Amino acid sequence: MRQAKQEGRRIIAVGTTTTRLLEGIVATKGALVPFAGDLNIFITPGFTFKVVDGLLTNFHLPKSTLLMLVSAFAGKDQVLAAYQKAVEKRYRFFSFGDAMFIV
């Protein structure tokens, strides 16, 4: 992954936990390095992402910390617009197939 980033290739995280892990390692260690242990990172709007360039995740509950992370990544207005579109299209939230790919 370090090499991919150094070569300018995109890093796509699958899930918010993966996103927190990758960004947390860089926030804690200053670089993508092998890591084992606990991380204490809370990603909210205003956070500067240094690793993740794209995110595959499901739709999250309103007012959840996961929705805050997604809003930090994609922007609150865009996330809310995506949720509105999903409601209009009658997506089945919190079930199989309720995913979005954000780049």
- Which residue segments constitute the domains of the chain, with CATH numbers given? 2-102 (3.40.1780.10)
Interstrand relation of 99-102 and 54-58 (parallel, antiparallel or unpaired): antiparallel
Convert the pLDDT of each residue in 48-89 to its tens digit. Answer: 999 999 999 988 888 899 999 999 999 999 999 998 998 898
Contacts of 94 (CB under 8 A, 6+ apart): 58, 59, 61
Please determine, for residue 95, whether its predicted confidence score (pLDDT) is greater than 70: no
Calculate the CA 30 to chain-centre distance. 19
Q: Which sign, positive or negative, has the C-alpha torsion 67, 99, 26, 35?
A: positive
Rounded-to-integer distance, Cα 51 and Cα 11, Å: 7
Convert the pLDDT of each residue in 7-45 to its tens digit. Answer: 999 999 999 999 999 999 999 999 999 999 999 999 999
